[in-house]
């Protein structure tokens, strides 16, 4: 999406892809056995919410450096979710194939987020020159 068309965090491609991933992670939580719904399920929900919420909060900050910091926090939550997916596969709450599909989604979110972070920091460099 062209930068001039981005007026809100919801316009960001990275936020949209992360939103889809968050929804997938919520589906995973609904399939967990009752014994895991509180502990693992809560961790998954919190991390999934953290990804999109940190992007939104960073977008709302005035400085590029603040935005970048929130993007880094979102990225950390993506990697936390990858670990939770591994746990779900290891405990046979997810099939290996489904775990791989979701892990690829997570990696895609991280990849797009890395690009967004690079472009945000490049704008900072241009603006300070």
- DSSP letters spanning 21-46: HHHHHHHHHHHS-HHHHTHHHHHHHH
- The CA distances from residue 100 to 62, 83, 86, in Å, are 37, 12, 9
Q: Check whether 128 has a pLDDT greater than 70.
A: no
pLDDT digits (tens, 9 = 90+) for 56-100: 999 998 788 899 999 999 999 999 999 999 999 999 999 999 999
pLDDT digits (tens, 9 = 90+) for 21-46: 999 999 999 999 999 989 999 999 99
pTM: 0.89
Q: Check whether 129 has a pLDDT greater than 80.
A: no
Q: What is the pLDDT of residue 1?
A: 45
Q: Check whether 54 has a pLDDT greater than 50.
A: yes
Return d(Cα 116, Cα 52) in angstroms, integer.
Answer: 13
Which residue did the predictor score with more confidence, 123 or 37? 37
Superfamily of domain 10-127: 23S rRNA-intervening sequence (1.20.1440.60)
Q: Check whether 4 has a pLDDT greater than 90.
A: no
Give the closest residue to 120 by CA, choosing from 10, 5, 12: 12
Q: Is the distance from CB of 52 to CB of 43 less than 8 angstroms?
A: no
6 secondary structure, DSSP code: -
Matching residue, tokens 């939580």: 29
């Amino acid at each position: 999406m062209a930068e001039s068309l981005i007026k809100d965090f919801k316009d960001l491609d990275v936020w949209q892809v992360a939103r889809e991933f968050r929804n997938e992670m919520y589906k995973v939580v609904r399939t967990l056995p009752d014994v895991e719904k509180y502990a693992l399920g809560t961790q998954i929900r919190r991390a999934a919410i953290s990804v999109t919420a940190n992007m939104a909060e960073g977008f709302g900050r005035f400085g590029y450096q603040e935005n970048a910091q929130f993007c880094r926090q979102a990225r950390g939550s993506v990697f936390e979710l990858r670990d939770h997916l591994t746990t779900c596969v290891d405990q046979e709450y997810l099939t290996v194939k489904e775990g791989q599909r979701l892990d690829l989604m997570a990696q895609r979110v991280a990849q797009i987020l890395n690009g967004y972070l690079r472009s945000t920091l490049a704008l900072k460099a241009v603006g300070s020159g």
